[in-house]
A and B are shown apart, each in its own frame.
Chain A
Amino acid sequence: MTYLTKLSAAALSELLVSKQVSAVEATHAHLDHITAVDTDLHAFLHVAGDAALATAAEIDARRAAGEVLNPLAGVPIAIKDVLATQDMPTTAGSKILEGWVPPYDATVVSRLRAAGLIPLGKTNMDEFAMGSSTEHSAYGVTRNPWDRDRIPGGSGGGSAAAVASFQAPLALGSDTGGSIRQPAAVTGSVGVKPTYGGVSRYGAIALASSLDQVGPVSRSVYDAALLHDVIGGHDPLDSTSLTDSWPSMAAAAQAGLKDGALKGVRVGVIKELSGDGFQAGVTQRFTETLALLVAAGAEITELSAPNFEYAVAAYYLILPAEASSNLARFDSVRFGIRVNPDSGSLTSEHVMSATREAGFGPEVKRRIILGTYALSAGYYDAYYGSAQKVRTLIQRDFAAAFSQVDVLVSPSAPTTAFKFGEKLADPMAMYLNDVTTIPANLAGVPGMSIPMGLAPEDGLPVGLQIMAPAKADARLYTVGAAIEQLLEARWGHTMLSQAPALTPTEMFASEEGAV
Chain B
Amino acid sequence: MSEITAEQVAHLAYLARIDLSPLEITSLTHDLGQIVDSIAKVSEVATADTPATSHPMPLTNVFREDVVVPSLTVEQALSGAPDRAGDKFRVPAILDEE
**Chains A and B come from one and the same complex:** yes
The one of B31, B47, B53, B80 that contacts A366, using a Cβ cutoff of 8 Å: B31
Chain B: CB-nearest residue to A316: B39
B63: nearest residue on chain A (CB-CB)? A239
Using known A-B contacts A347-B95, A366-B31, determine if residue A388 contacts B79 with beta carbons closer than 8 Å. no
Q: Are A347 and B93 in contact (CB under 8 A)?
A: yes
Indicate if the CB atoms of A427 and B35 lie closer than 8 Å. Answer: yes
Question: Given A334-B81, A348-B93: A393 and B50 within 8 A (CB)?
Answer: yes
Do B98 and A428 have beta carbons less than 8 Å apart? no
Closest B residue, CB atoms, query A317: B39
Q: Indicate which residue in B9, B16, B42, B92 contacts A313 across the interface (CB closer than 8 Å).
A: B42
Whole-angstrom CA separation of A388 from B43 in the bound complex: 10
Give the CA-CA distance A55 to B57 in the complex, in Å.
38
Interface size of A in residues (CB-CB distance below 8 Å): 75
Known contacts: A356-B18, A385-B52, A442-B56. The answer to whether A310 contacts B44 by CB under 8 A is yes
Query: What's the interface size class on B, roughly?
Result: 35 or more
Instruction: Let me know if B93 and A310 touch, CB within 8 A.
Output: no
- Chain A residues contacting B32 (CB-CB under 8 Å) are 366, 369-370, 373
Q: Which residue of A lies closest to B89 (CB)?
A: A333
Q: Mark A190-203, 1 if CB is under 8 A from B, else 0.
A: 00000111000000
Report the minimum CB–CB distance from B77 to chain A (whole Å): 7
Verify B17–A365 contact, CB threshold 8 A.
no
Q: Is the CB of B91 within 8 A of A333?
A: yes
The answer on a CB contact under 8 Å between A395 and B53 is yes
User: B53 touching A102 by the CB < 8 A rule?
Assistant: no
Instruction: Take A196-B56, A313-B38, A337-B82 as given contacts and tell me if A392 and B51 are in contact as well, using a CB distance cutoff of 8 Å.
Output: yes
Neighbouring B residues of A101 by C-beta, 8 Å: 79-80
Interface centre among B4, B17, B31, B98 (most CB of A within 10 A): B17
Please tell me if the beta carbons of A210 and B54 are within 8 angstroms of each other in the complex: yes
Main secondary structure on B side of the interface with A: loop
Across the interface, do A392 and B50 meet the contact criterion of CB distance under 8 Å?
A: yes
Q: Which of A242, A347, A362, A368 sits near B96, CB closer than 8 Å?
A: A347
1/0 contact string of A213-246 vs chain B (CB within 8 Å)? 0000000000000000000000010011010000
Expressed in whole angstroms, the minimum distance between the Cβ of A304 and any Cβ of chain B is 14
Residue among B34, B57, B64, B89 making CB contact with A427, cutoff 8 Å: B34
Cα A498 to Cα B16 with chains together (Å): 47
B24 lies within 8 A of chain A by Cβ:
yes
Residues of A within 8 A of B4 (CB): 373
Taking a contact as CB atoms under 8 Å apart, the answer to whether B91 and A368 are in contact is no
From B36, B62, B82, contact of A332 by CB (8 A): B82
Q: A359 — nearest CB in chain B belongs to which residue?
A: B18
Q: Is the CB of A389 within 8 A of B18?
A: no
Q: In angstroms, how far is the closest chain A Cβ from the Cβ of B76?
A: 4
A residues near B, CB below 8 A?
100-104, 195-197, 210-211, 236, 239-240, 242, 307, 310, 312-314, 316-317, 324, 328, 331-338, 341, 345-354, 356-357, 360, 362, 365-366, 368-370, 372-373, 376, 382-383, 385-393, 395, 427-428, 431, 441-445, 470
- Name 23 interchain pairs, CB-CB below 8 A, sorted by A: A103-B80, A197-B57, A310-B42, A310-B44, A313-B39, A313-B41, A316-B35, A334-B77, A345-B97, A347-B93, A348-B94, A356-B17, A357-B19, A365-B24, A366-B28, A369-B12, A370-B35, A382-B40, A385-B52, A389-B45, A389-B47, A470-B56, A470-B57
Given A395-B56, A441-B56, 13 new contacts (CB under 8 A): A101-B79, A101-B80, A239-B61, A348-B93, A356-B18, A365-B28, A368-B18, A369-B9, A369-B32, A386-B42, A388-B52, A389-B45, A427-B34
